[in-house]
Amino acid sequence: MYVCVCAVRMSYVYVCVDCASVFLNDGIYGGLVDLRDMGLTGRVRVVCSNGQARIGKPVPRSIFGPTCDSLDRLPGALGLPEDTQSGDYVLFDGLGAYSVAMSTQFNGYGLSEIVTVR
Protein backbone atom coordinates (compact mmCIF):
# COMPACT_ATOMS: atom_id res chain seq x y z
CA MET A 1 0.00 0.00 0.00
CA TYR A 2 1.25 3.48 -0.85
CA VAL A 3 0.22 6.77 0.69
CA CYS A 4 0.73 10.06 -1.11
CA VAL A 5 3.29 12.06 0.86
CA CYS A 6 4.39 15.43 -0.38
CA ALA A 7 7.84 16.62 0.70
CA VAL A 8 8.24 20.32 0.23
CA ARG A 9 11.61 21.98 0.57
CA MET A 10 11.28 25.18 2.51
CA SER A 11 12.99 27.70 0.29
CA TYR A 12 12.70 30.73 2.52
CA VAL A 13 11.46 31.61 5.97
CA TYR A 14 10.39 35.23 6.18
CA VAL A 15 10.66 36.15 9.83
CA CYS A 16 8.46 39.12 10.63
CA VAL A 17 8.15 40.71 14.06
CA ASP A 18 5.91 37.91 15.31
CA CYS A 19 7.72 35.13 13.36
CA ALA A 20 4.36 33.97 12.04
CA SER A 21 4.95 33.55 8.27
CA VAL A 22 6.67 30.76 6.35
CA PHE A 23 7.14 30.65 2.58
CA LEU A 24 7.49 27.29 0.80
CA ASN A 25 8.63 26.48 -2.72
CA ASP A 26 5.28 24.74 -3.31
CA GLY A 27 1.74 25.85 -2.67
CA ILE A 28 -1.90 25.82 -3.76
CA TYR A 29 -0.98 25.69 -7.45
CA GLY A 30 1.40 22.77 -6.97
CA GLY A 31 1.31 19.63 -4.84
CA LEU A 32 -0.59 21.30 -1.99
CA VAL A 33 -3.74 21.95 -4.04
CA ASP A 34 -5.86 19.54 -1.97
CA LEU A 35 -5.19 21.47 1.23
CA ARG A 36 -7.22 24.39 -0.12
CA ASP A 37 -10.38 22.26 0.09
CA MET A 38 -9.47 19.64 2.71
CA GLY A 39 -7.81 21.99 5.16
CA LEU A 40 -4.61 21.10 6.93
CA THR A 41 -4.36 17.39 7.55
CA GLY A 42 -2.51 17.67 10.85
CA ARG A 43 -0.03 15.06 9.67
CA VAL A 44 2.90 17.37 9.09
CA ARG A 45 6.55 16.80 9.97
CA VAL A 46 9.60 19.01 9.59
CA VAL A 47 13.05 17.50 9.02
CA CYS A 48 16.48 19.08 8.55
CA SER A 49 18.39 18.56 5.32
CA ASN A 50 20.32 15.76 7.10
CA GLY A 51 17.06 13.89 7.83
CA GLN A 52 16.82 14.68 11.56
CA ALA A 53 13.34 15.58 12.76
CA ARG A 54 12.72 19.04 14.18
CA ILE A 55 11.17 18.57 17.61
CA GLY A 56 10.76 22.11 18.94
CA LYS A 57 7.56 23.35 20.52
CA PRO A 58 4.87 23.87 17.81
CA VAL A 59 4.34 27.51 16.85
CA PRO A 60 1.31 28.50 14.71
CA ARG A 61 2.45 29.94 11.37
CA SER A 62 0.79 31.13 8.19
CA ILE A 63 2.06 29.13 5.22
CA PHE A 64 2.46 30.81 1.83
CA GLY A 65 3.38 29.33 -1.55
CA PRO A 66 5.95 30.78 -3.97
CA THR A 67 3.65 32.69 -6.32
CA CYS A 68 2.61 36.32 -6.01
CA ASP A 69 -1.05 35.27 -6.00
CA SER A 70 -2.79 36.24 -2.76
CA LEU A 71 -4.72 32.93 -2.87
CA ASP A 72 -1.47 30.92 -2.66
CA ARG A 73 -1.83 30.45 1.09
CA LEU A 74 -2.76 27.38 3.08
CA PRO A 75 -5.99 27.74 5.09
CA GLY A 76 -5.57 28.47 8.78
CA ALA A 77 -2.34 28.35 10.74
CA LEU A 78 -0.06 25.34 10.91
CA GLY A 79 1.92 24.45 14.04
CA LEU A 80 5.53 24.06 12.93
CA PRO A 81 8.38 23.41 15.38
CA GLU A 82 9.87 26.64 16.73
CA ASP A 83 13.31 25.58 15.48
CA THR A 84 12.17 25.30 11.83
CA GLN A 85 14.75 26.92 9.55
CA SER A 86 15.22 27.83 5.93
CA GLY A 87 16.36 24.77 3.99
CA ASP A 88 14.31 22.31 6.07
CA TYR A 89 11.80 19.92 4.52
CA VAL A 90 8.12 20.03 5.44
CA LEU A 91 6.44 16.64 4.92
CA PHE A 92 2.68 16.62 4.38
CA ASP A 93 1.47 13.01 4.82
CA GLY A 94 -1.53 11.64 2.93
CA LEU A 95 -2.41 14.63 0.78
CA GLY A 96 -4.91 12.83 -1.41
CA ALA A 97 -5.37 11.50 -4.90
CA TYR A 98 -5.67 14.84 -6.66
CA SER A 99 -2.58 16.54 -5.25
CA VAL A 100 -0.51 15.56 -8.30
CA ALA A 101 -3.23 15.55 -10.97
CA MET A 102 -4.45 19.08 -10.18
CA SER A 103 -1.08 20.82 -9.88
CA THR A 104 -0.37 23.46 -12.51
CA GLN A 105 2.59 25.37 -13.90
CA PHE A 106 0.97 28.68 -12.85
CA ASN A 107 3.48 31.55 -12.95
CA GLY A 108 6.19 29.02 -13.80
CA TYR A 109 5.71 27.09 -10.55
CA GLY A 110 4.16 23.71 -9.90
CA LEU A 111 5.05 20.10 -9.31
CA SER A 112 8.58 19.51 -10.53
CA GLU A 113 9.67 16.13 -9.20
CA ILE A 114 7.92 13.04 -7.87
CA VAL A 115 9.76 10.74 -5.46
CA THR A 116 8.42 7.49 -4.01
CA VAL A 117 9.15 7.07 -0.29
CA ARG A 118 8.54 3.70 1.34
Q: Which domain holds residue 82?
A: 5-107
User: What pLDDT is attached to residue 102?
Assistant: 73
Residue 40 lies in a domain: yes
Single pTM value for the model? 0.76
Residue 114 lies in a domain: no
Residue 116 lies in a domain: no
Residue 117 lies in a domain: no
Query: Tens-of-pLDDT digits for all 118 residues of the chain?
Result: 555 656 555 444 555 546 688 888 888 887 788 777 777 766 788 888 888 999 999 999 888 888 878 888 988 888 899 888 888 888 887 776 667 777 777 666 655 666 665 5
Active site residue 48: no
Residue of 6, 18, 16, 30 lying closest to 90 (CA atoms) = 6
CATH number at residue 52: 2.40.37.10
Residue 38 lies in a domain: yes
Q: How far apart are CA 67 and CA 24, in angstroms?
A: 10
Query: Domain total for the chain?
Result: 1
Residue 52 lies in a domain: yes
Which residues in 74-113 are b (16+ Cβ under 10 Å) and which e?
A: beeebebbeebeeebbbbbeebbeebbebbeeeeebbbee
Residue 113 lies in a domain: no
Q: How far apart are CA 117 and CA 53, in angstroms?
A: 16
Backbone angles phi, psi at 50, to 5 degrees: -90, 5
- Residue 53 · residue 44 · CB < 8 Å: no
